[in-house]
Amino acid sequence: MGSLPPSLDLPSPPLGKPPHLQLLSETTLLNLFKSQENHLNYFFQNLDFSQALSFTQTLLNSRGTIFFSGVGKSGFVASKISQTLVSLEIRSSFLSPLDALHGDIGALSSADVLVLFSKSGSTEELLRLLPCARAKGVYLISVTSVSNNALANACDMNVHLPLERELCPFDLAPVTSTAIQMVFGDTVAIALMGARNLTKEQYAANHPAGRIGKSLIFKVKDVMKNKDELPICKEGDLIMEQLVELSSKGCGCLLVIDDEYHLLGTFTDGDLRRTLIKASGEAIFKLRVGDMCNREPRTIGPDAMAVEAMQKMESPPSPVQFLPVIDHQNVLIGIITLHGLVSAGL
């Protein structure tokens, strides 16, 4: 391959550090974390819990949708808190103050609550939104960190989030104020979750694609291999004649059944290795599966949770890679494998 033209030469990666940067020491970073901890403790120690309780109770009693709004970093926090409430089966939505003034305010009704996040309480976009939202009959709540601000004075309720200062050396970048907004909003969300008696099953139903949801939703029958995929044999079958069946189904075992499909035992790759070690000469060709199979394998039912199957596989005295699935009459109906559980995201 020829060299690149001079105009296309790729720059070399920079070595060292730019001359205007200082070395970042472990002590400096540790002091910043400690300072942020102190700022957060100031918030916890000075928060008016009567305000927090009134706020939480108002959201709990809401008959409509709980809207959140904010601008900039506070807007991101407001959106995140709204999404958390939605995942907890609470009707909520983020309302952009700009889009609201161009039609989206039509989503508001007199049954709704509108929560406005602003550090200063003087955010121009939110102040412009206020009279329009009030005209819709919505209940207005401001969440601010500066006392006696315009937004708080114009709303039906205000929650003051005590802010000692920003971690930023200039006390400007909103890194502590947004942290306490997030802590406050998420804590209230969990309080609402408890008050509404949300179950793990309901929570999981709202997270079907995540590991949390799958572990609470998926049952063994949802991820098991069914009859036509099973590596089955009879106890009278010769071991050497079942090697193809043992290796072709990708389960690492044979499931030993009788004529009525009752499970009699299992014969694994490991059992085969032990058989080869113990048998000598032509004796190996005369051994039958029933002579060497495990007559007391671990099993599981089809309605058990898939996560329970994984726990059973990993339990003492030694882990296994599969579980035969049987019904209440010990009839084989499937097999669940560790690979299948992992592939399903569990």
For 216-251, how does the pLDDT look when each residue is reduced to its tens digit (9 = 90+)? 678 899 989 998 899 999 999 998 899 888 888 888
pLDDT of residue 214: 67
Confidence of residue 20 (pLDDT cuts 50, 70, 90): confident
CB 78 within 8 A of CB 125: no
Q: What is the mean pLDDT of the chain?
A: 90
Q: Where in the chain is the domain with CATH 3.10.580.10?
A: 220-344
Higher pLDDT, residue 255 or 344: 255
CATH superfamily placement of domain 220-344: CBS-domain (3.10.580.10)
Higher pLDDT, residue 314 or 118: 118
The distance from CA 264 to its chain's CA centroid, rounded to whole angstroms, is: 40
Quick one: which of 180, 227, 193, 192 has its CA closest to 74? Answer: 180
Does the pLDDT value for residue 19 go beyond 70? no
Does the pLDDT value for residue 83 go beyond 60? yes
Q: Where in the chain is the domain with CATH 3.40.50.10490?
A: 31-198
SS3 341: helix
19-48 per-residue burial string, b: 16 or more CB within 10 A, e: under 16: eeeeeeeeeeeeeeeeeeeebbebbeeebe
| CB neighbourhood size of 153 (10 A) | 10
What does the alpha-carbon distance between residue 53 and residue 319 come to, in Å, rounded to a whole number? 49
Half-sphere exposure of 106 (CA within 13 A, CB side): 3
What does the alpha-carbon distance between residue 156 and residue 158 come to, in Å, rounded to a whole number? 7
pLDDT of residue 202: 84
pLDDT of residue 1: 45
Q: Is 67 left (phi over 0), alpha (psi -120 to 50) or beta?
A: beta
pLDDT of residue 10: 58
Confidence of residue 190 (pLDDT cuts 50, 70, 90): very high
* Strand pairing class (253-257; 263-268): antiparallel
Q: What is the pTM of this model?
A: 0.69
- Per the structure block, which two tokens stand in for 1? 């391959």
Confidence of residue 331 (pLDDT cuts 50, 70, 90): very high
Does the pLDDT value for residue 200 go beyond 70? yes
Does the pLDDT value for residue 183 go beyond 60? yes
| DSSP secondary structure string for all residues of 27-89 | HHHHHHHHHHHHHHHHHHHH--HHHHHHHHHHHHH-SS-EEEEESTHHHHHHHHHHHHHHHTT
Residue 168 per-residue DSSP state: S
pLDDT of residue 80: 98
Does the pLDDT value for residue 78 go beyond 90? yes
CB 180 within 8 A of CB 73: no
Mean pLDDT computed over 142-162 = 97
CB 181 within 8 A of CB 39: no
What does the alpha-carbon distance between residue 217 and residue 220 come to, in Å, rounded to a whole number? 10
**CATH code that applies to domain 31-198:** 3.40.50.10490
Does the pLDDT value for residue 342 go beyond 90? no
Quick one: which of 131, 134, 151, 135 has its CA closest to 143? Answer: 151
Confidence of residue 279 (pLDDT cuts 50, 70, 90): confident
Does the pLDDT value for residue 73 go beyond 70? yes
SS3 193: helix
Mean pLDDT computed over 264-288 = 84
pLDDT tens digit sequence for 84-116 = 999 999 999 999 999 999 999 999 999 999 999
